Amino acid sequence: MKKRFTKSSLIFGFVSGFLFATLVAGFDYYNDNPFDFSKFIFQFILFGLFQSLIIFPKAKKTTNE
């Protein structure tokens, strides 16, 4: 059971981190700023990790009810 929670939270974190980093890179491109790959990776990892840590307890609680 715990494996399913972990897998779903990591997938959610991966997707949300990628979307966030892509949107920020799009806004930078729109404002004529150059694409910075290290900034993209940093935002991708940081936001994705944060989102997966937030969703894990919520998914576990929702499933147990």
Q: How many structural domains comprise the chain?
A: 1
- Give the pLDDT confidence of 9-55 residue by residue, as tens digits: 888 889 999 999 999 999 999 999 999 999 999 999 999 989 888 87
pTM here?
0.75
To the nearest 10 degrees (0 to 180), the angle between helices 2-30 and 37-64 is 140
In terms of residue numbers, what domain contains 39?
2-64
The pLDDT of residue 12 is 87
pLDDT of residue 1 exceeding 80, the answer is: no
- Is pLDDT larger for residue 60 or for residue 30? 30
The 10 Å Cβ neighbour count of residue 48 is 21
